[in-house]
Amino acid sequence: MFELLGIPPQALFGQLLLGLINGSFYAMLSLGLAVIFGLLNIINFTHGAQYMMGAFVTWMLLTYFGINYWAALILVPLIVGASGIVIERLMISRLYHLDHLYGLLLTFGLALIIQGLFRNQYGVSGIPYAAPELLQGGHNLGFMYLPNSRLWVIVASLVVCLGTWFMIEKTKLGAYLRAATENPTLVGAFGINVPRMITLTYGFGVGLAALAGVLAAPIYSVNPNMGEQLIIVVFAVVVIGGMGSILGAIITGFGLGLVEGLTRVFYPEGSAVVIFVIMAIVLLVKPAGLFGRTA
Amino acid sequence: MMKKLALATSAFAMLAATPGLAQDVSVKLGVLNDRSGVYADLSGEGSVIAAQMAVEDFGAEEKGITVEIVSADHQNKPDVASNIARQWYSEEDVDAIFDVPTSSAALAVHEITREMDKIFMNSGAATSDLTGSACSPNTVHWTYDTWALANGTGGAMVEQGGDSWFFITADYAFGHALERDTTAFVEKSGGTVVGSVRHPFPGSDFSSFLLQAQASGAKVVGLANAGGDTINAVKQASEFGITQAGQSLAGLLVFLTDVHSLGLQTAQGLVLTESFYWDLNDQTREWSARFEEQAGDKPTMVQAGVYGSVLHYLKAVEATGTDETAAVMEWMKANPTDDPLFGQGEIREDGRKIHDMYLFRVKAPDQSEGPWDYYELLETIPADQAFRPLADGGCSLVEEAAAQ
């Protein structure tokens, strides 16, 4: 059997598919970050904690209220998104006139507090969350066994990413949002409630993180550190894609998932840093990111 | 007759004088471990509770020994661990450090302890180098090590016909040592290692590595990692149908809290090696119930190890009437260990604490009779066979003793 770069092509396809699955998470999370940064100019470091909250609320709904996974897909983004709206109204909105750094520090602090609270309550080992019946089992693709739960992640992520991109780039609402970031005073003069629009946008971004948390719950163990490990990578994805670029976040999310997957095959020890190496190179060559606009 | 009487009298006088000597002793113990990362549940605050329980059960106060316990988070990082250890020893007058999971951090504390001539009683870390190539007169390795794990789980898997292995290894001192010791065991038993992959620590997604293990065709996939890494790897192995397709999964280091987190549905059938389980006998059940009241969970072997090591340390302080390193270490090695959790044992000259180890299988959900009823005992590995023979470790202390 011929080999490609030292590994059989079948194994390579498997690894590429796995990269795509991880990329789905990166894309969804970086999309939320990009939406928030693009429209609010806030670097939302709480995003990882909000992703973790998504997974925990999913588990809580099932454990305490008997609400299943499918309902959680709708309810969890609403619940966690609502908590985001409260945070935006009470805290973040007071920082808009200050430098980016203040928003970053506030959201970073919030992330530490939220993680600490969950850690004290639930420990660090994590809690099992069984996949719903429909997502159990999988398909034998010939080159690998693809669990249904992972296949579902790719589908869900693609739908959400494309839907969000369409809404922001192609609809009237999206046009208002984009206009509001360019010139809030002017948009406000047209009778549009800009502060409310910004609040809802933050809630939407947080809802995206929570939705990724719902998708992650049956795959990874639900644990307080799950966001912490992911958020740094996701930030790198956003930087590489171009801060605030919706399309950049989606494409680099999936792309870097693939790159990381391949690194796991050829040089596993390097898989934790490959994304940061790429980030450093991109920043040197194209400081605004691959899809970013230079101001 | 007169000679005998004189001897008896002086012995009695010495015994009577001991508590008097100990009256002025005050010791400070440092519990250094992971308080927020992947090993926080299996050591963390529970280890501090275990240390406090040892002080209370020993009755230190009544015996005139003042004990103060301090604790800190080393974040699983060797540099953080060595900074704290150095500060504790040089500025805060800490006499001995306990626990220290994460082999890389433990090796760092081990070196500083030797340099500062204090005492390090490890119960959390696994690397067998602590009592092997890197051994020190200042370290006692209490609970388990990579050789004992390889001997227990590795041996059992090979016996069951698992003669070809693929390792998924945490990329730091612990994972390397566990892979090395298990490889030696597999090869000695006539098996082969067909490949291995090293994953960044800590990791969350193991699917790529599991796929490589699957493609290797090995009969056994050995997980040379621990805590959160093992939990995720086992969970994802089940998701990707590794065991259903005929490969066996060997969790080379699995703690009770890991099984608790995985749930029996996913963890059932895993074979694992531990030196302590709460449901072993009346003594362990009684102690574990008291521990659970304070900590909320049943104890792991690491936390039990902290209890046992603090107890033995305090006995040495009482007997010698001092916190002076050489005297305490000499007493600890010269006298047998005996506590309700590990039973009787000894500390060898290389610093290795010797006791029985146990091979368990995780129960299926319908076999479990209640909360925390997770293990079925397969085999007790007697103390004299459970750990690496003294001569095989390459410890310089042993060689020096032999030369004399």
Look at residue B348 and give its three-state secondary structure. coil
Residue A12 confidence (pLDDT): 83
Q: Does A148 touch chain B if contact means CB atoms closer than 8 Å?
A: no
pTM over 0.90? The answer is no
The distance in angstroms from the start CA to the end CA of chain A is 52
Give chain B positions within 8 Å (CB) of A21. 207
Residue B22 confidence (pLDDT): 44
Give chain A positions within 8 Å (CB) of B236. 219
Q: Give percent above pLDDT 70 in chain B.
A: 94
Q: Do A264 and B198 touch (CB under 8 A)?
A: no
Q: Bigger pLDDT: B346 or A2?
A: B346
Asked whether residue B18 carries a pLDDT value surpassing 60, the answer given is no
Tens-digit pLDDT profile for residues A261-271? 889 888 888 88
Q: Does A150 touch chain B if contact means CB atoms closer than 8 Å?
A: yes
Nearest to B228 among A124, A131, A149 (CB): A124
Q: Does B195 touch chain A if contact means CB atoms closer than 8 Å?
A: no
Q: How confident is the model at residue B9 (pLDDT cuts 50, 70, 90)?
A: very low
Tens-digit pLDDT profile for residues B19-52? 444 457 999 999 999 998 889 999 999 999 999 9
Please name which of B381, B353, B352, B362 lies closest in space to residue B154, comparing C-alpha atoms.
B381
Q: Does B59 touch chain A if contact means CB atoms closer than 8 Å?
A: no
Nearest CA in chain A to B172: A269
Give chain B positions within 8 Å (CB) of A118. none
Q: Do B260 and A125 touch (CB under 8 A)?
A: yes
In one-letter notation, the amino acid at residue A211 is L
Tens-digit pLDDT profile for residues B145-195? 999 999 999 989 998 899 999 999 999 999 999 999 999 999 998 899 999
Q: Which CATH class is domain B147-259?
A: alpha beta
Give the closest-approach CA distance of A74 to chain B in angstroms: 24
Over range B372-390, report the average pLDDT: 95
Q: Do A264 and B235 touch (CB under 8 A)?
A: no
Residue A142 confidence (pLDDT): 82
Cα–Cα–Cα angle for B201, B227, B283, rounded to 5 degrees: 150
Residues 266-325 of B with CB under 8 A from A: 266, 297
Asked whether residue B122 carries a pLDDT value surpassing 80, the answer given is yes
Distance, in Å, from the CA atom of B10 to the CA atom of B51, rounded to the nearest integer, reads: 35
Residue B4 confidence (pLDDT): 53
Q: Is the dihedral of CA B196, B200, B206, B212 positive or negative?
A: negative
Cβ atoms of A218 and A130 within 8 Å: the answer is: yes
Give chain A positions within 8 Å (CB) of B207. 18, 21, 150
Among A52, A264, A273, A276, the strongest candidate for a mutation testing the B interface, having the largest count of B CBs within 10 A, is A264
Cβ atoms of B362 and B269 within 8 Å: the answer is: yes
Residues 349-388 of B with CB under 8 A from A: none
Contacts of A55 (CB under 8 A, 6+ apart): A129, A213, A214, A216, A217, A220, A222, A226
Q: Does B192 touch chain A if contact means CB atoms closer than 8 Å?
A: no
Contacts of A20 (CB under 8 A, 6+ apart): A154, A254, A257, A258, A261
**Which residues on neighbouring strands pair with residue B356, listed in sequence order?**
none
Q: Does B36 touch chain A if contact means CB atoms closer than 8 Å?
A: yes
For residues A191-201, one letter each, b for 16 or more C-beta atoms within 10 angstroms of the residue's C-beta and e for the rest, the string is eeebeebbbbb
Tens-digit pLDDT profile for residues B282-339? 999 999 999 999 999 999 999 999 999 999 999 999 999 999 999 999 999 999 999 9
Distance, in Å, from the CA atom of A251 to the CA atom of A255, rounded to the nearest integer, reads: 6
Distance, in Å, from the CA atom of A179 to the CA atom of A120, rounded to the nearest integer, reads: 43
Residue A5 confidence (pLDDT): 60
Nearest to A124 among B41, B171, B203 (CB): B41
Complex ipTM = 0.86
Asked whether residue B73 carries a pLDDT value surpassing 50, the answer given is yes
Helices (H) and strands (E) in chain B, counts: 16, 15
Distance, in Å, from the CA atom of A163 to the CA atom of A168, rounded to the nearest integer, reads: 9
DSSP output for B164-222: EEEEEEESSHHHHHHHHHHHHHHHHTT-EEEEEEEE-SS-S--HHHHHHHHHHT-SEEE
Distance, in Å, from the CA atom of B176 to the CA atom of B166, rounded to the nearest integer, reads: 14
Give chain A positions within 8 Å (CB) of B37. 124, 225
In this structure, the number of other CB atoms found within 10 A of the CB of residue A142 comes to: 9
Q: Is B61 exposed, middle or buried (0-12, 13-18, 19+ CB in 10 A)?
A: exposed
Give the closest-approach CA distance of B38 to chain A in angstroms: 6
Could you tell me the two tokens for B4? Answer: 């005998």
Q: What is the pLDDT along chain A (295 residues), one digit of tens a residue?
A: 455 566 677 778 888 899 999 999 999 999 999 999 888 888 999 999 999 999 999 999 999 999 999 999 999 999 999 999 999 999 999 998 888 899 999 999 999 999 999 999 998 888 989 899 999 888 988 888 899 999 999 999 999 999 999 999 999 999 988 888 888 888 889 888 999 999 999 999 999 999 999 999 999 889 999 998 889 999 999 999 998 888 999 999 999 999 998 898 888 888 889 999 999 999 999 999 999 876 5
Q: Does A226 touch chain B if contact means CB atoms closer than 8 Å?
A: yes
For domain B2-144+279-355, say whether CATH 3.40.50.2300 is its number: yes
Q: Does B38 touch chain A if contact means CB atoms closer than 8 Å?
A: yes
Look at residue B4 and give its three-state secondary structure. helix
DSSP class of B142: -
| Phi, psi dihedral angles at A42 (to 5 degrees) | -110, 130
Asked whether residue B276 carries a pLDDT value surpassing 90, the answer given is yes
Distance, in Å, from the CA atom of B75 to the CA atom of B35, rounded to the nearest integer, reads: 7
Look at residue B385 and give its three-state secondary structure. helix
Q: Does B229 touch chain A if contact means CB atoms closer than 8 Å?
A: no
In one-letter notation, the amino acid at residue B395 is C
Q: Do B207 and A18 touch (CB under 8 A)?
A: yes
Over range B270-281, report the average pLDDT: 96
Give chain B positions within 8 Å (CB) of A271. 199-200, 208
Residues 42-101 of A with CB under 8 A from B: none
In one-letter notation, the amino acid at residue B27 is V
Query: Which of A57-61, B52-56, B78-82, B236-240 shows the lowest mean pLDDT across its residues?
Result: B236-240
Q: Where do the domains of chain B lie? A: 2-144+279-355, 147-259
Q: Where do the domains of chain A lie? A: 28-100+114-221
Q: Do B205 and A220 touch (CB under 8 A)?
A: yes
Cβ atoms of B321 and B18 within 8 Å: the answer is: yes
Token pair 């007071």: residue: A94
Nearest to B41 among A11, A19, A125 (CB): A125
Nearest to A128 among B205, B214, B261 (CB): B261
Distance, in Å, from the CA atom of A38 to the CA atom of A246, rounded to the nearest integer, reads: 8
Over range B351-365, report the average pLDDT: 96
Q: Does B212 touch chain A if contact means CB atoms closer than 8 Å?
A: yes
Give the closest-approach CA distance of A122 to chain B in angstroms: 10
Nearest CA in chain A to B245: A145
Could you tell me the two tokens for A200? Answer: 């809802």
Tens-digit pLDDT profile for residues B208-224? 899 899 889 999 999 99
The distance in angstroms from the start CA to the end CA of chain B is 36
Q: Do A138 and B241 touch (CB under 8 A)?
A: yes
C-alpha distances in angstroms, A125 versus A222, B171, B231, B261, B300? 9, 20, 8, 6, 13
Give chain B positions within 8 Å (CB) of A138. 239-241
Q: A–B: how many Cβ contacts below 8 A?
A: 108
Contacts of A288 (CB under 8 A, 6+ apart): A242, A243, A294
In this structure, the number of other CB atoms found within 10 A of the CB of residue A1 comes to: 5
Cβ atoms of A227 and A51 within 8 Å: the answer is: yes
Give chain B positions within 8 Å (CB) of A127. 261
